[in-house]
Chains A and B, each alone.
Chain A
Protein backbone atom coordinates (compact mmCIF):
# COMPACT_ATOMS: atom_id res chain seq x y z
CA UNK A 1 0.00 0.00 0.00
CA UNK A 2 1.05 3.58 -0.61
CA UNK A 3 1.45 6.37 1.91
CA UNK A 4 -0.82 9.25 2.83
CA UNK A 5 0.39 12.84 2.57
CA UNK A 6 1.08 12.89 6.32
CA UNK A 7 3.03 9.63 6.17
CA UNK A 8 5.14 10.91 3.26
CA UNK A 9 6.11 14.10 5.10
CA UNK A 10 6.99 12.10 8.22
CA UNK A 11 9.04 9.58 6.21
CA UNK A 12 10.99 12.38 4.54
CA UNK A 13 11.76 14.04 7.88
CA UNK A 14 12.82 10.72 9.41
CA UNK A 15 15.16 9.99 6.49
CA UNK A 16 13.15 6.90 5.56
CA UNK A 17 11.78 5.76 2.21
CA UNK A 18 8.65 4.33 3.74
CA UNK A 19 6.78 4.41 7.04
CA UNK A 20 3.72 2.46 8.15
CA UNK A 21 0.99 3.32 10.70
CA UNK A 22 2.08 2.55 14.25
CA UNK A 23 5.80 2.85 13.45
CA UNK A 24 7.81 4.90 15.96
CA UNK A 25 10.13 7.36 14.26
CA UNK A 26 12.43 10.23 15.14
CA UNK A 27 11.83 13.18 12.82
CA UNK A 28 13.66 16.39 11.98
CA UNK A 29 11.70 19.55 12.84
CA UNK A 30 11.32 22.68 10.69
CA UNK A 31 9.57 24.83 13.32
CA UNK A 32 9.17 24.47 17.10
CA UNK A 33 6.50 26.78 18.53
CA UNK A 34 5.47 27.95 21.99
CA UNK A 35 3.29 30.66 23.53
CA UNK A 36 3.23 32.70 26.75
CA UNK A 37 1.50 29.86 28.70
CA UNK A 38 3.53 26.88 27.50
CA UNK A 39 6.95 28.43 26.88
CA UNK A 40 7.70 29.23 30.56
CA UNK A 41 7.23 25.53 31.46
CA UNK A 42 9.46 24.56 28.50
CA UNK A 43 12.13 27.08 29.48
CA UNK A 44 12.19 25.72 33.05
CA UNK A 45 12.59 22.17 31.71
CA UNK A 46 15.21 23.29 29.16
CA UNK A 47 17.30 24.86 31.92
CA UNK A 48 16.75 22.03 34.41
CA UNK A 49 18.00 19.52 31.83
CA UNK A 50 21.14 21.60 31.41
CA UNK A 51 20.83 22.47 27.71
CA UNK A 52 22.93 25.46 26.79
CA UNK A 53 21.81 26.36 23.29
CA UNK A 54 18.95 25.92 20.85
CA UNK A 55 19.32 23.81 17.71
CA UNK A 56 18.51 26.68 15.31
CA UNK A 57 17.50 30.19 16.34
CA UNK A 58 15.62 30.64 13.04
CA UNK A 59 13.44 27.55 13.52
CA UNK A 60 11.90 28.42 16.87
CA UNK A 61 8.82 30.63 17.16
CA UNK A 62 7.70 32.13 20.46
CA UNK A 63 4.46 34.08 20.33
CA UNK A 64 3.00 35.99 23.28
CA UNK A 65 -0.72 35.75 22.62
CA UNK A 66 -2.77 34.14 25.39
CA UNK A 67 -2.66 36.79 28.12
CA UNK A 68 -1.15 39.85 26.36
CA UNK A 69 -1.09 42.78 26.70
CA UNK A 70 -0.34 41.33 30.14
CA UNK A 71 -3.60 40.80 32.00
CA UNK A 72 -2.05 40.76 35.49
CA UNK A 73 1.26 40.64 37.33
CA UNK A 74 1.67 36.87 37.07
CA UNK A 75 1.04 36.99 33.30
CA UNK A 76 3.56 39.82 33.05
CA UNK A 77 6.17 37.65 34.76
CA UNK A 78 5.51 34.81 32.29
CA UNK A 79 5.86 37.18 29.31
CA UNK A 80 9.07 38.51 30.82
CA UNK A 81 10.48 35.00 31.12
CA UNK A 82 9.67 34.28 27.45
CA UNK A 83 11.23 37.60 26.40
CA UNK A 84 14.39 36.84 28.38
CA UNK A 85 14.78 33.39 26.82
CA UNK A 86 14.14 34.75 23.30
CA UNK A 87 16.75 37.46 23.85
CA UNK A 88 19.35 35.11 25.38
CA UNK A 89 19.07 32.70 22.45
CA UNK A 90 18.55 35.34 19.69
CA UNK A 91 15.25 33.70 18.64
CA UNK A 92 14.43 35.34 15.31
CA UNK A 93 10.70 34.55 15.37
CA UNK A 94 9.84 36.12 18.70
CA UNK A 95 6.58 38.07 18.58
CA UNK A 96 5.89 40.54 21.37
CA UNK A 97 3.13 43.14 21.78
CA UNK A 98 3.13 45.41 18.72
CA UNK A 99 4.00 42.69 16.23
CA UNK A 100 2.29 39.68 17.78
CA UNK A 101 -0.88 37.98 16.67
CA UNK A 102 -2.73 34.85 17.70
CA UNK A 103 -0.05 32.28 16.90
CA UNK A 104 -2.00 30.18 14.40
CA UNK A 105 -3.23 33.23 12.52
CA UNK A 106 0.23 34.83 12.66
CA UNK A 107 2.66 32.10 11.54
CA UNK A 108 0.92 31.29 8.23
CA UNK A 109 0.37 35.02 7.54
CA UNK A 110 4.05 35.77 8.12
CA UNK A 111 5.19 32.83 6.00
CA UNK A 112 6.97 31.16 8.92
CA UNK A 113 5.30 27.83 8.14
CA UNK A 114 5.24 26.34 4.68
CA UNK A 115 4.25 23.30 2.63
CA UNK A 116 6.17 20.11 3.43
CA UNK A 117 7.23 21.26 6.90
CA UNK A 118 7.29 19.05 9.98
CA UNK A 119 6.17 21.26 12.88
CA UNK A 120 5.50 20.83 16.58
CA UNK A 121 3.96 23.46 18.79
CA UNK A 122 3.22 23.57 22.50
CA UNK A 123 -0.36 24.50 21.72
CA UNK A 124 -3.02 22.02 20.72
CA UNK A 125 -4.19 24.09 17.74
CA UNK A 126 -0.79 23.79 16.05
CA UNK A 127 -2.61 21.38 13.73
CA UNK A 128 -3.80 24.53 11.86
CA UNK A 129 -0.76 24.50 9.52
CA UNK A 130 -1.94 21.37 7.73
CA UNK A 131 -3.87 23.90 5.64
CA UNK A 132 -0.64 24.86 3.84
CA UNK A 133 0.30 21.21 3.29
CA UNK A 134 2.54 20.76 6.34
CA UNK A 135 2.58 18.03 8.98
CA UNK A 136 1.91 19.97 12.16
CA UNK A 137 0.82 18.80 15.57
CA UNK A 138 0.33 19.97 19.14
CA UNK A 139 2.60 18.74 21.93
CA UNK A 140 3.41 19.71 25.50
CA UNK A 141 6.10 21.90 26.98
CA UNK A 142 8.61 19.09 27.58
CA UNK A 143 8.43 18.14 23.89
CA UNK A 144 8.92 21.81 23.06
CA UNK A 145 12.01 21.94 25.29
CA UNK A 146 13.43 18.78 23.69
CA UNK A 147 12.59 20.12 20.22
CA UNK A 148 14.31 23.45 20.89
CA UNK A 149 17.44 21.65 22.10
CA UNK A 150 17.71 18.88 19.51
CA UNK A 151 15.56 19.86 16.51
CA UNK A 152 14.01 16.40 16.68
CA UNK A 153 10.84 14.78 18.01
CA UNK A 154 9.54 11.24 18.24
CA UNK A 155 6.23 10.34 16.59
CA UNK A 156 4.05 7.32 16.17
CA UNK A 157 3.08 7.33 12.49
CA UNK A 158 -0.70 7.85 12.38
CA UNK A 159 -3.25 5.93 10.39
CA UNK A 160 -5.64 8.12 8.46
CA UNK A 161 -9.25 9.00 7.81
CA UNK A 162 -9.97 10.48 4.40
CA UNK A 163 -12.58 13.22 4.10
CA UNK A 164 -13.40 13.39 0.40
CA UNK A 165 -14.96 16.75 -0.31
CA UNK A 166 -17.26 17.47 -3.26
CA UNK A 167 -19.45 20.38 -4.30
CA UNK A 168 -19.24 23.96 -3.07
CA UNK A 169 -20.38 25.61 0.16
CA UNK A 170 -23.59 27.68 0.16
CA UNK A 171 -22.73 31.37 0.57
CA UNK A 172 -23.98 31.52 4.18
CA UNK A 173 -21.55 28.76 5.21
CA UNK A 174 -17.80 28.72 5.79
CA UNK A 175 -15.03 26.38 6.91
CA UNK A 176 -16.31 26.52 10.50
CA UNK A 177 -19.60 24.92 9.46
CA UNK A 178 -17.67 22.16 7.66
CA UNK A 179 -15.47 21.23 10.61
CA UNK A 180 -18.29 21.49 13.19
CA UNK A 181 -20.42 19.24 10.96
CA UNK A 182 -17.58 16.70 10.73
CA UNK A 183 -16.97 16.73 14.52
CA UNK A 184 -20.73 16.27 15.01
CA UNK A 185 -20.55 13.21 12.73
CA UNK A 186 -17.48 11.47 14.16
CA UNK A 187 -17.37 12.79 17.75
CA UNK A 188 -14.67 14.42 19.87
CA UNK A 189 -12.53 11.27 19.75
CA UNK A 190 -13.61 10.18 16.27
CA UNK A 191 -10.12 10.71 14.85
CA UNK A 192 -8.14 9.95 18.02
CA UNK A 193 -4.41 9.42 17.25
CA UNK A 194 -5.15 9.63 13.49
CA UNK A 195 -4.59 12.12 10.68
CA UNK A 196 -7.56 13.77 8.96
CA UNK A 197 -6.73 13.95 5.25
CA UNK A 198 -8.94 16.28 3.20
CA UNK A 199 -9.13 15.35 -0.47
CA UNK A 200 -11.44 15.57 -3.47
CA UNK A 201 -12.79 18.03 -5.98
CA UNK A 202 -14.35 20.21 -3.28
CA UNK A 203 -10.95 21.25 -1.92
CA UNK A 204 -10.33 23.80 -4.66
CA UNK A 205 -13.52 25.67 -3.76
CA UNK A 206 -12.31 26.36 -0.22
CA UNK A 207 -10.31 29.51 0.57
CA UNK A 208 -7.12 29.41 2.63
CA UNK A 209 -9.01 30.91 5.58
CA UNK A 210 -11.58 28.09 5.33
CA UNK A 211 -8.82 25.47 5.22
CA UNK A 212 -6.93 27.02 8.16
CA UNK A 213 -10.16 26.98 10.20
CA UNK A 214 -10.92 23.35 9.27
CA UNK A 215 -7.41 22.09 10.15
CA UNK A 216 -7.41 24.21 13.33
CA UNK A 217 -10.23 22.15 14.83
CA UNK A 218 -8.88 18.71 13.84
CA UNK A 219 -7.74 18.40 17.47
CA UNK A 220 -11.39 18.80 18.53
CA UNK A 221 -11.99 15.40 16.89
CA UNK A 222 -8.95 14.02 18.73
CA UNK A 223 -6.79 14.00 15.60
CA UNK A 224 -3.01 14.18 15.52
CA UNK A 225 -3.21 16.50 12.52
CA UNK A 226 -5.40 17.67 9.67
CA UNK A 227 -3.96 18.22 6.22
CA UNK A 228 -4.96 19.63 2.82
CA UNK A 229 -3.26 18.91 -0.50
CA UNK A 230 -1.25 21.77 -2.01
CA UNK A 231 -3.11 23.24 -4.99
CA UNK A 232 -3.23 26.53 -6.90
CA UNK A 233 -4.98 28.25 -3.98
CA UNK A 234 -2.17 27.20 -1.59
CA UNK A 235 0.55 28.17 -4.06
CA UNK A 236 -0.98 31.61 -4.59
CA UNK A 237 -1.13 32.08 -0.80
CA UNK A 238 2.50 31.02 -0.27
CA UNK A 239 3.90 33.03 -3.21
CA UNK A 240 6.17 35.79 -1.91
CA UNK A 241 5.15 35.02 1.66
CA UNK A 242 7.02 31.91 2.82
CA UNK A 243 10.59 32.41 3.98
CA UNK A 244 11.59 28.82 3.16
CA UNK A 245 10.98 27.05 -0.15
CA UNK A 246 7.76 25.01 -0.05
CA UNK A 247 8.10 21.26 -0.68
CA UNK A 248 5.01 19.67 -2.13
CA UNK A 249 4.06 16.16 -1.04
CA UNK A 250 1.15 14.24 -2.57
CA UNK A 251 -0.60 11.17 -1.24
CA UNK A 252 0.10 8.01 -3.23
CA UNK A 253 -2.84 6.98 -5.45
CA UNK A 254 -3.06 3.74 -3.40
CA UNK A 255 -2.62 5.44 0.00
CA UNK A 256 -4.26 3.47 2.78
CA UNK A 257 -7.12 5.12 4.66
CA UNK A 258 -8.84 3.44 7.59
CA UNK A 259 -12.06 4.82 6.20
CA UNK A 260 -13.32 7.40 3.73
CA UNK A 261 -16.09 9.83 4.59
CA UNK A 262 -17.79 11.69 1.75
CA UNK A 263 -18.70 15.31 2.45
CA UNK A 264 -20.90 17.15 -0.03
CA UNK A 265 -20.11 20.79 0.72
CA UNK A 266 -23.30 21.97 -1.00
CA UNK A 267 -25.36 20.16 1.67
CA UNK A 268 -23.65 21.89 4.62
CA UNK A 269 -25.89 24.21 6.67
CA UNK A 270 -24.90 26.76 9.37
CA UNK A 271 -24.35 24.71 12.53
CA UNK A 272 -23.74 25.45 16.20
CA UNK A 273 -22.01 23.23 18.77
CA UNK A 274 -24.02 23.35 22.00
CA UNK A 275 -22.51 23.04 25.51
CA UNK A 276 -20.37 21.31 26.64
CA UNK A 277 -18.67 19.46 23.79
CA UNK A 278 -17.81 20.48 20.22
CA UNK A 279 -19.60 17.32 18.99
CA UNK A 280 -23.01 18.55 20.21
CA UNK A 281 -23.88 20.13 16.88
CA UNK A 282 -27.30 21.27 15.72
CA UNK A 283 -28.44 23.39 12.77
CA UNK A 284 -28.36 27.05 13.86
CA UNK A 285 -31.92 27.42 12.58
CA UNK A 286 -33.17 25.01 15.28
CA UNK A 287 -31.73 27.06 18.15
CA UNK A 288 -33.58 30.34 17.65
CA UNK A 289 -35.02 30.28 21.19
CA UNK A 290 -31.56 30.35 22.81
CA UNK A 291 -31.01 33.83 24.24
CA UNK A 292 -27.43 35.06 24.42
CA UNK A 293 -25.59 37.60 26.59
CA UNK A 294 -22.31 37.82 24.68
CA UNK A 295 -20.83 37.31 21.23
CA UNK A 296 -17.12 36.70 20.60
CA UNK A 297 -15.77 36.86 17.04
CA UNK A 298 -12.07 36.02 16.87
CA UNK A 299 -9.57 33.33 18.05
CA UNK A 300 -7.06 31.12 16.22
CA UNK A 301 -10.07 29.42 14.63
CA UNK A 302 -11.88 32.48 13.23
CA UNK A 303 -9.86 35.67 13.67
CA UNK A 304 -8.76 35.95 10.02
CA UNK A 305 -9.68 38.53 7.40
CA UNK A 306 -12.56 36.56 5.85
CA UNK A 307 -14.00 36.18 9.34
CA UNK A 308 -13.80 39.94 9.86
CA UNK A 309 -15.44 40.43 6.44
CA UNK A 310 -18.31 38.12 7.43
CA UNK A 311 -18.82 40.08 10.66
CA UNK A 312 -18.67 43.40 8.77
CA UNK A 313 -21.15 42.34 6.10
CA UNK A 314 -23.67 41.44 8.81
CA UNK A 315 -23.08 44.25 11.30
CA UNK A 316 -22.52 47.28 9.04
CA UNK A 317 -25.25 49.86 9.42
CA UNK A 318 -27.05 47.77 12.05
CA UNK A 319 -27.12 47.67 15.87
CA UNK A 320 -26.13 44.91 18.26
CA UNK A 321 -29.24 43.89 20.27
CA UNK A 322 -29.80 45.53 23.65
CA UNK A 323 -28.28 43.50 26.46
CA UNK A 324 -25.71 41.80 24.21
CA UNK A 325 -21.95 42.44 24.50
CA UNK A 326 -20.27 41.93 21.14
CA UNK A 327 -16.49 41.49 21.25
CA UNK A 328 -14.49 41.39 18.01
CA UNK A 329 -10.82 40.35 18.08
CA UNK A 330 -8.83 40.49 14.83
CA UNK A 331 -6.23 37.70 14.87
CA UNK A 332 -3.08 39.64 14.00
CA UNK A 333 -1.83 43.23 13.87
CA UNK A 334 -1.98 43.07 10.05
CA UNK A 335 -5.63 41.98 10.19
CA UNK A 336 -6.40 44.71 12.73
CA UNK A 337 -4.70 47.25 10.46
CA UNK A 338 -6.70 46.02 7.46
CA UNK A 339 -9.90 46.29 9.53
CA UNK A 340 -9.01 49.89 10.35
CA UNK A 341 -8.14 50.78 6.76
CA UNK A 342 -11.26 49.20 5.30
CA UNK A 343 -13.50 50.99 7.78
CA UNK A 344 -14.56 47.80 9.52
CA UNK A 345 -13.53 49.05 12.95
CA UNK A 346 -15.70 52.15 12.59
CA UNK A 347 -18.62 50.02 11.43
CA UNK A 348 -18.16 47.62 14.36
CA UNK A 349 -18.07 50.47 16.87
CA UNK A 350 -21.08 52.15 15.28
CA UNK A 351 -22.94 48.85 15.58
CA UNK A 352 -22.21 48.80 19.33
CA UNK A 353 -19.44 46.18 19.26
CA UNK A 354 -15.98 46.54 20.78
CA UNK A 355 -12.72 45.78 19.00
CA UNK A 356 -9.67 44.43 20.84
CA UNK A 357 -6.04 44.04 19.83
CA UNK A 358 -5.13 40.42 19.04
CA UNK A 359 -5.33 38.00 21.99
CA UNK A 360 -6.60 34.51 22.79
CA UNK A 361 -8.23 36.23 25.80
CA UNK A 362 -11.81 35.05 26.26
CA UNK A 363 -11.50 31.81 24.24
CA UNK A 364 -9.84 30.09 27.18
CA UNK A 365 -11.42 32.19 29.91
CA UNK A 366 -8.30 34.31 30.29
CA UNK A 367 -9.69 37.86 30.15
CA UNK A 368 -11.43 40.31 27.76
CA UNK A 369 -14.91 38.81 28.03
CA UNK A 370 -15.28 36.41 30.96
CA UNK A 371 -18.78 35.04 31.60
CA UNK A 372 -20.70 35.19 34.90
CA UNK A 373 -22.83 32.33 36.28
CA UNK A 374 -25.81 31.59 34.05
CA UNK A 375 -24.54 33.66 31.09
CA UNK A 376 -24.47 32.41 27.51
CA UNK A 377 -22.05 33.28 24.74
CA UNK A 378 -22.05 32.42 21.06
CA UNK A 379 -18.43 32.37 19.99
CA UNK A 380 -16.36 31.62 16.91
CA UNK A 381 -13.80 29.94 19.18
CA UNK A 382 -13.03 26.23 19.33
CA UNK A 383 -14.05 24.80 22.72
CA UNK A 384 -17.23 24.90 24.77
CA UNK A 385 -16.11 22.82 27.75
CA UNK A 386 -17.44 23.46 31.28
CA UNK A 387 -16.01 26.75 32.53
CA UNK A 388 -14.03 27.38 29.34
CA UNK A 389 -14.97 31.07 29.08
CA UNK A 390 -15.57 31.80 32.75
CA UNK A 391 -17.93 30.61 35.46
CA UNK A 392 -18.61 26.85 35.59
CA UNK A 393 -22.32 27.63 35.22
CA UNK A 394 -21.84 29.67 32.02
CA UNK A 395 -22.38 28.28 28.52
CA UNK A 396 -20.52 28.61 25.22
CA UNK A 397 -22.08 27.88 21.81
CA UNK A 398 -19.59 27.48 18.95
CA UNK A 399 -20.45 28.89 15.53
CA UNK A 400 -19.15 30.57 12.37
CA UNK A 401 -18.52 34.34 12.23
CA UNK A 402 -21.63 34.79 10.04
CA UNK A 403 -23.84 32.98 12.58
CA UNK A 404 -22.26 34.77 15.54
CA UNK A 405 -22.72 38.18 13.92
CA UNK A 406 -26.34 37.43 12.95
CA UNK A 407 -26.98 36.38 16.56
CA UNK A 408 -25.47 39.63 17.87
CA UNK A 409 -28.17 41.58 16.03
CA UNK A 410 -31.11 39.59 17.42
CA UNK A 411 -29.87 38.56 20.86
CA UNK A 412 -30.82 34.97 20.06
CA UNK A 413 -28.96 32.27 18.14
CA UNK A 414 -29.73 33.15 14.53
CA UNK A 415 -28.81 31.45 11.27
CA UNK A 416 -27.14 33.86 8.80
Chain B
Protein backbone atom coordinates (compact mmCIF):
# COMPACT_ATOMS: atom_id res chain seq x y z
CA UNK B 1 0.00 0.00 0.00
CA UNK B 2 1.22 3.47 -0.78
CA UNK B 3 0.18 7.08 -1.22
CA UNK B 4 1.55 9.96 -3.26
CA UNK B 5 0.67 13.62 -2.92
CA UNK B 6 1.47 17.11 -1.68
CA UNK B 7 2.47 17.95 1.87
CA UNK B 8 0.51 20.01 4.39
CA UNK B 9 2.84 20.86 7.26
CA UNK B 10 1.83 21.43 10.90
CA UNK B 11 3.65 22.16 14.18
CA UNK B 12 4.07 20.22 17.46
CA UNK B 13 1.10 19.32 19.67
CA UNK B 14 -1.67 19.53 17.05
CA UNK B 15 -4.67 18.63 19.21
CA UNK B 16 -7.90 16.89 18.30
CA UNK B 17 -9.85 20.08 19.11
CA UNK B 18 -8.26 21.81 16.13
CA UNK B 19 -8.42 18.71 13.92
CA UNK B 20 -12.18 18.67 14.47
CA UNK B 21 -13.64 21.28 16.88
CA UNK B 22 -16.10 19.87 19.44
CA UNK B 23 -18.73 22.41 18.40
CA UNK B 24 -19.35 20.20 15.36
CA UNK B 25 -19.54 16.92 17.27
CA UNK B 26 -23.33 16.98 17.49
CA UNK B 27 -23.22 14.66 14.47
CA UNK B 28 -21.25 11.50 13.67
CA UNK B 29 -21.65 11.95 9.88
CA UNK B 30 -18.07 11.75 8.57
CA UNK B 31 -18.76 13.70 5.36
CA UNK B 32 -20.39 16.53 7.29
CA UNK B 33 -17.59 16.59 9.89
CA UNK B 34 -14.84 16.50 7.26
CA UNK B 35 -15.88 19.95 5.98
CA UNK B 36 -14.37 21.39 9.19
CA UNK B 37 -11.10 19.42 9.32
CA UNK B 38 -8.24 21.61 10.68
CA UNK B 39 -10.29 24.80 10.30
CA UNK B 40 -9.20 26.42 13.58
CA UNK B 41 -5.53 26.47 12.50
CA UNK B 42 -5.75 26.17 8.69
CA UNK B 43 -8.88 27.37 6.92
CA UNK B 44 -7.31 26.51 3.52
CA UNK B 45 -6.78 22.79 4.22
CA UNK B 46 -10.20 21.47 3.22
CA UNK B 47 -10.25 23.68 0.12
CA UNK B 48 -6.85 22.50 -1.12
CA UNK B 49 -6.47 18.86 0.00
CA UNK B 50 -6.56 16.26 -2.78
CA UNK B 51 -6.76 12.46 -2.49
CA UNK B 52 -3.40 11.00 -1.51
CA UNK B 53 -2.01 14.16 0.07
CA UNK B 54 0.13 13.85 3.18
CA UNK B 55 0.10 15.64 6.53
CA UNK B 56 3.52 16.15 8.13
CA UNK B 57 3.71 17.34 11.75
CA UNK B 58 5.92 17.59 14.82
CA UNK B 59 5.74 15.93 18.24
CA UNK B 60 2.58 14.61 19.91
CA UNK B 61 0.20 14.86 16.93
CA UNK B 62 -3.43 14.25 17.91
CA UNK B 63 -3.13 15.07 21.61
CA UNK B 64 -6.20 15.78 23.72
CA UNK B 65 -9.64 14.27 23.33
CA UNK B 66 -10.20 10.60 22.43
CA UNK B 67 -12.62 11.55 19.65
CA UNK B 68 -12.26 9.05 16.82
CA UNK B 69 -13.82 11.73 14.66
CA UNK B 70 -10.28 13.23 14.40
CA UNK B 71 -8.53 10.48 12.38
CA UNK B 72 -11.85 9.88 10.63
CA UNK B 73 -12.10 13.43 9.22
CA UNK B 74 -8.45 13.38 8.14
CA UNK B 75 -9.09 10.12 6.28
CA UNK B 76 -12.45 11.29 4.87
CA UNK B 77 -10.79 14.42 3.41
CA UNK B 78 -8.71 12.09 1.26
CA UNK B 79 -5.46 12.39 3.21
CA UNK B 80 -3.34 9.37 2.35
CA UNK B 81 -1.03 9.37 5.36
CA UNK B 82 0.08 11.35 8.42
CA UNK B 83 3.80 11.50 9.21
CA UNK B 84 4.82 12.95 12.60
CA UNK B 85 7.72 12.94 15.03
CA UNK B 86 5.36 11.25 17.52
CA UNK B 87 1.63 10.65 17.97
CA UNK B 88 -0.52 10.98 21.09
CA UNK B 89 -1.41 7.43 22.12
CA UNK B 90 -5.22 7.50 21.71
CA UNK B 91 -4.92 9.09 18.26
CA UNK B 92 -2.33 6.44 17.30
CA UNK B 93 -4.68 3.66 18.39
CA UNK B 94 -7.72 5.21 16.72
CA UNK B 95 -5.88 5.74 13.43
CA UNK B 96 -4.95 2.04 13.31
CA UNK B 97 -8.45 0.98 14.30
CA UNK B 98 -10.11 2.95 11.49
CA UNK B 99 -7.42 2.38 8.86
CA UNK B 100 -5.70 5.78 8.54
CA UNK B 101 -2.03 5.09 7.76
CA UNK B 102 0.36 6.91 10.11
CA UNK B 103 4.13 6.81 10.36
CA UNK B 104 6.52 8.06 13.04
CA UNK B 105 9.72 9.47 11.51
CA UNK B 106 11.56 12.33 13.18
CA UNK B 107 13.92 13.16 10.27
CA UNK B 108 11.16 13.16 7.65
CA UNK B 109 8.91 15.28 9.86
CA UNK B 110 11.75 17.74 10.43
CA UNK B 111 12.99 18.13 6.85
CA UNK B 112 9.99 17.68 4.53
CA UNK B 113 8.47 21.06 3.68
CA UNK B 114 4.94 22.21 2.96
CA UNK B 115 4.09 21.75 -0.72
CA UNK B 116 6.71 19.05 -1.36
CA UNK B 117 5.61 16.05 -3.43
CA UNK B 118 6.08 12.86 -1.40
CA UNK B 119 5.57 9.15 -1.92
CA UNK B 120 5.02 6.86 1.08
CA UNK B 121 5.15 3.05 1.11
CA UNK B 122 3.36 1.77 4.25
CA UNK B 123 4.63 -1.80 3.88
CA UNK B 124 8.30 -0.87 3.90
CA UNK B 125 8.05 2.41 5.83
CA UNK B 126 10.00 4.23 3.10
CA UNK B 127 9.14 7.92 2.68
CA UNK B 128 10.46 9.58 -0.51
CA UNK B 129 10.48 13.38 -0.87
CA UNK B 130 10.28 13.65 -4.68
CA UNK B 131 10.87 17.42 -4.53
CA UNK B 132 14.23 17.17 -2.74
CA UNK B 133 15.15 13.63 -3.81
CA UNK B 134 15.72 12.52 -0.20
CA UNK B 135 14.35 9.29 1.27
CA UNK B 136 13.61 8.41 4.88
CA UNK B 137 13.01 5.13 6.71
CA UNK B 138 10.12 5.11 9.21
CA UNK B 139 9.67 2.45 11.87
CA UNK B 140 7.32 -0.20 10.44
CA UNK B 141 4.35 -1.31 12.59
CA UNK B 142 4.78 -4.30 14.90
CA UNK B 143 3.41 -7.58 13.49
CA UNK B 144 0.38 -7.48 15.85
CA UNK B 145 -0.72 -4.12 14.46
CA UNK B 146 0.08 -5.07 10.84
CA UNK B 147 -2.37 -7.91 11.31
CA UNK B 148 -5.15 -5.47 12.33
CA UNK B 149 -4.38 -3.29 9.30
CA UNK B 150 -4.21 -6.27 6.90
CA UNK B 151 -7.65 -7.41 8.03
CA UNK B 152 -9.11 -3.94 7.48
CA UNK B 153 -9.28 -2.50 11.00
CA UNK B 154 -9.95 -3.72 14.52
CA UNK B 155 -13.54 -4.91 14.13
CA UNK B 156 -12.82 -6.80 10.93
CA UNK B 157 -9.85 -8.45 12.65
CA UNK B 158 -12.13 -9.79 15.40
CA UNK B 159 -14.48 -11.64 13.05
Contact = CB atoms under 8 A, between A and B. Distances in A.
Given A365-B23, A387-B18, A149 B86 contact: no
A365 B22 contact: yes
B41 A386 contact: yes
A184 interface: no
Nearest to B29: A74
A69 interface: no
Interface in B74-125: 86, 88-90, 93-94, 97-98
A385 B18 contact: yes
B159 A383 contact: no
Interface residues of B, number: 40
A364 interface: yes
B21 A387 contact: yes
Interface residues of A, number: 52
Contacts of B64: 124, 383, 385
A140 B28 contact: no
Interface in B57-71: 59-60, 63-69, 71
A33 B92 CA distance: 19
Contacts of B133: none
Interface in B119-159: 142, 144, 153-156, 158-159
Nearest to A190: B60
A397 interface: no
A49 B22 contact: no
Contacts of A219: 90
A247 interface: no
Given A140-B97, A142-B97, A366-B22, A74 B27 contact: yes
Interface in A347-394: 364-366, 370, 383, 385-388, 392
A67 B18 CA distance: 19
A24 B98 CA distance: 19
A402 B49 CA distance: 46
Contacts of B66: 38, 121-124, 126, 138-140
A78 B158 CA distance: 26
A142 B23 contact: no
Nearest to A363: B22
Contact of B144 (A24, A66, A222, A388): A24
A38 B16 CA distance: 14
A189 B59 contact: yes
Nearest to B90: A138
Nearest to B97: A142
A37 interface: yes
A385 B159 CA distance: 39
B70 to A, nearest CB: 9
A41 interface: yes
Given A222-B60, A386-B18, A386-B41, A139 B26 contact: no
Given A41-B28, A49-B158, A143-B93, 11 more contacts: A140-B98, A142-B94, A143-B94, A189-B13, A189-B60, A364-B65, A365-B17, A366-B25, A383-B65, A385-B64, A388-B22
21 contacts: A24-B144, A41-B69, A66-B22, A72-B26, A77-B27, A121-B66, A126-B66, A140-B94, A140-B98, A142-B97, A142-B155, A143-B94, A143-B97, A188-B13, A224-B89, A365-B23, A383-B15, A386-B18, A386-B40, A387-B18, A387-B40
3 pairs of A and B residues whose beta carbons are closest in the complex: A140-B94, A140-B68, A74-B26
Interface of B: 13, 15, 17-18, 21-23, 25-28, 40-41, 59-60, 63-69, 71-72, 86, 88-90, 93-94, 97-98, 142, 144, 153-156, 158-159
